């Protein structure tokens, strides 16, 4: 989020055909809930394009990167590495410490896409669990980012949007930003 140290999300692993939707949703969730960028495996090109398209239409800033160096991204990260896993410490037990670390250092959130090697667990400053039960990595990322930002991400404003969703109790209302600005004049 603007005005804070960087938060990047690294999708560790991607199985084309099997993980396409989930990898895309990791990127969209990272964007919507306050991260500054997502780093995807280099074989996740379709997911990267979808997240870039959404960012172009609904605003940013948000960066999407592809890499074939997942381990190097973690190893060379200059900040705090947080690995989300069901085998980790309970997020609610350490969220204050994580927030304090984020005030001072950039955060890399590692979200697995397949079996994550032990090296990732060892490289992480925290291995955190959003429940110690099997569930979606997208859900874990969403809950973690909400805890990290203490709910502030829900009110963030997006720049350079082409479209904006108007909140309503019923129905779907999407407006073109240019038309919305013209109506306000």
Q: 133: phi > 0 → left, psi -120 to 50 → alpha, else beta; which?
A: beta
Average pLDDT, the chain: 93
Q: How far apart are CA 173 and CA 52, in angstroms?
A: 22
Residue 33 in tokens: 């809930």
Q: What is the mean pLDDT of residues 41-67?
A: 97
Q: How confident is the model at residue 178 (pLDDT cuts 50, 70, 90)?
A: confident
pLDDT on residue 51? 98
Q: What is the mean pLDDT of residues 143-151?
A: 97
Strand-pair category, 126-129 with 80-90 = parallel
How does pLDDT run across 13-27, given as a tens digit for each residue?
999 999 999 999 999
Burial string for 44-64 (b: 16+ CB within 10 Å, else e) reads beebbebbbebbeebbbebeb
Q: What percent of the chain has pLDDT over 70?
A: 95
| Whether residue 116 has pLDDT greater than 70 | yes
Please tell me the pTM assigned to this model. 0.93
pLDDT on residue 2? 67
Query: What is the set of domains in the chain, with CATH numbers?
Result: 7-184 (3.40.1280.10)
Q: What is the mean pLDDT of residues 49-59?
A: 97
- Please name every residue paired with 126 in a beta bridge, in sequence order, or none if there are none: 82
| Whether residue 180 has pLDDT greater than 80 | no
Residue 130 and residue 89 in contact, taking contact as beta carbons nearer than 8 Å:
no
| Whether residue 112 has pLDDT greater than 70 | yes
Q: How confident is the model at residue 52 (pLDDT cuts 50, 70, 90)?
A: very high
Burial string for 130-147 (b: 16+ CB within 10 Å, else e) reads beeeeeebbebbbbbbbb
Residue 133 and residue 91 in contact, taking contact as beta carbons nearer than 8 Å:
no
pLDDT on residue 92? 96
3-class DSSP assignment, residue 72 = helix
Q: Regarding predicted confidence, which is higher, 169 or 179?
A: 169
């Amino acid at each position: 989020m603007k005005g804070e140290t960087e938060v990047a999300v690294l999708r560790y692993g991607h199985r084309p055909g099997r993980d396409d939707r989930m990898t895309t949703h990791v990127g969209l969730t990272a964007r919507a809930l306050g991260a500054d960028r997502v780093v995807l495996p280099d074989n996740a090109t379709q997911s990267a394009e979808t997240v870039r398209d959404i960012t172009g239409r609904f605003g940013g800033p948000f960066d999407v990167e592809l890499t074939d160096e997942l381990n190097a991204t973690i190893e060379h990260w200059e900040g705090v590495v947080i690995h989300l896993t069901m085998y980790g410490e309970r997020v609610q037990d350490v969220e204050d410490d994580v927030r304090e670390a984020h005030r001072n250092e950039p955060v890399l959130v590692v979200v697995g896409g397949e079996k994550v090697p032990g090296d990732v667990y060892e490289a992480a400053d925290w291995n955190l669990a959003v429940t110690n039960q099997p569930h979606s990595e997208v859900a874990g990322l969403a809950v973690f980012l909400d805890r990290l930002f203490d709910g502030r991400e829900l009110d963030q404003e997006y720049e350079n949007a082409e479209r904006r969703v108007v909140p309503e109790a019923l129905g779907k209302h999407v407006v073109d930003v240019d038309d919305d600005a013209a109506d306000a004049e």
